Every structure is written in C-alpha cells, then in structure tokens.
Amino acid sequence: MKGKTASMEKVEFIAYDSSLAPYFKELNVSWLRQYFVVEPIDEIMLSDPQTYIIDKGGYIFFARLAGEIVGTFAFVKTDGIFELGKMAVSEKQRGKKIGNQMLDFCLASAKQLGMNKLFLYSNTKLENAIHLYRKYGFTEVPFGSSAYKRSNIKMEVTI
C-alpha cells in the first residue's frame, strides 16, 4: 500500500460531572475566541452549565483521548426540543477526526435518549463544520431567530 493511511484514535465519551465543568467552559471559550467573541449568553451558560443546561433537562458530554479531555458538546433543551450546541474540540487536537466521532456519538445518544430531532445554529464561515453537519444528515431549515449574534444558519436532523 502506498502512502500513509490516517489512523483515527478512538475517543472515549463521558457524561457531565461537575468536576468537568471547567473543561466545558475552557474548550468553548477557546473556540469562540478563535472564530468569534464570547457573547453574554455564552458566558452565562458556560459559567454555570449545571443550572442552564443540566437542570433544564439537557445533557453535556465530553470526549476523552488518552486520559485528556479533548472535546465537548451539549444537548440544550429548549421548548421541549433539543439543540446541539457548545460543540468544541481542543485546538491542538483538531484534524484528528474527533468531530466525526463526536457526531457519531451525538446521534447515537440522541436516539438512545428518545430524541426525534436535533437542531443547531452555526455560521456559514465555518465551512468545515457545515460540511461535517451535512455529512451527518443535517439540512438547512428556515433560520427564525437565535440568541447568538454570530449565527446565520440553522440546521436540523431527524433521528
């Protein structure tokens, strides 16, 4: 076989525990600062995920690779439906297909949790993310409104 084949390291997924809250904030703030700004709504949710996500019926998961937390995402419950949000991968771990593994786990978890549909808000300047979402079956839907100023696209997938 010619050339190198990229081997994908297997990521382990773990559910939210209050001891992991600092990673949730750190990963998201790092990502937001790289591409946008940390908006007031982000600061509120990231500083107290227990109150603003978990206690409202949502879920947070973390991706762990070789004992290190390298990614996170949340299912944020809003009006009885779930938003896939706060998805971030450590900058030094990008390009290793962790986002693919996170979306595989995300969709399997959503199904296991009885969700029929997920939606997300993003920005079209994040071409790699939009491509990844489309690869996993997300399609663009009417935007409506978003709490995030950075958002300019809404997508959803039926589970």
Contact between residue 135 and residue 97 where contact means Cβ atoms under 8 Å apart: no
pLDDT level of residue 8 (50, 70, 90 thresholds): low
pLDDT tens track for 114-144: 999 999 999 999 999 999 999 999 999 999 8
CA distances from 7 to 46, 93, 94, 97, 98 (A): 33, 14, 14, 9, 12
For residue 70, the Cα-to-chain-centroid distance in whole angstroms is 12
pLDDT tens track for 112-121: 999 999 999 9
> Global pTM?
0.91
User: What pLDDT was estimated at residue 9?
Assistant: 80
- The superfamily CATH assigns to domain 12-114 is Gcn5-related N-acetyltransferase (GNAT) (3.40.630.30)
